[in-house]
Amino acid sequence: MAKITRPQRAKPVPVRKVAKTAKAAPGSASKTTAKQAAKAPKKPAGKPAKVAAKATAAKPAKTALKATRPWTPAEIREAFSRFAQANPEPKGELEHLNPYTLLVAVVLSAQATDAGVNKATRPLFAVADTPQKMIALGEDTVRDYIKTVGLFRTKAKNVIALSQKLINEFGGEVPRTRAELESLPGAGRKTANVVLNMAFGEHTMAVDTHVFRVGNRTGLAPGKTPLEVELGLEKVIPAEFMLHAHHWLILHGRYTCLARKPRCELCLIKDLCRWPEKTA
């Protein structure tokens, strides 16, 4: 007779007791927990729904900017033809008597208004319209003349230093190359471009805050830096308009395409402008 075997029940596995470690000092457990919590990624505060909604709403704006249709050569020519017809001989608003006083005026205009600079330079240029005369005045006297202009102490030093360098290295004359102009104290690329354009008739594009805004807002020459906008404008503007182009754009940004409240209803190029928020 075969032996009947019955399945045996599984024996319960004995639970090992974790060996006790030395007691932690009072408060150490809470400190460890706090450290772990600090390392753990934090969840954004506030209402997740609203944050997600804002993030979602921001994406279409970026896409729209990237998808902006660039200006055609015909449209660019039309825009500058309109500027030329409205103001055939635009003039810079910085008052000057010669290339040297223009150079000084542009150096003084950094972070200052043209009107404020003109107020200071009218009496200054009446007594010092050459590097030699400016040196004879001295830094203290120059500082007194321009004390109403922002950063006047630094600018007075630069005016004296650039005047001395003009005498020592350029025979008292304003140089006619960008590299030489940029080597002068207080003069940068924008200063060099203004002097080359206004004093010597070069086809340069001086990008100040107004030109930078117009280039980006209209879509004419978008760029993250003044240099990008400058090179973009030089690339697309027809040569026949380049002599006066930076003046037209400066004046347009100063009086029509304002930073906070653009006057789109008065804009000569509103039908060509790519700005999605234009009011006319």
* Catalytic residue of the set 3, 208, 270, 278: 208
224 annotated active-site: no
Q: How far is CA 157 from the centre of its chain?
A: 26
59 annotated active-site: no
* Catalytic residue of the set 133, 190, 224, 235: 190
**Pair of tokens at residue 152:** 């006047």
Q: Say how far apart CA 83 and CA 256 lie, in whole Å.
A: 12
Catalytic residue ranges:
190, 208
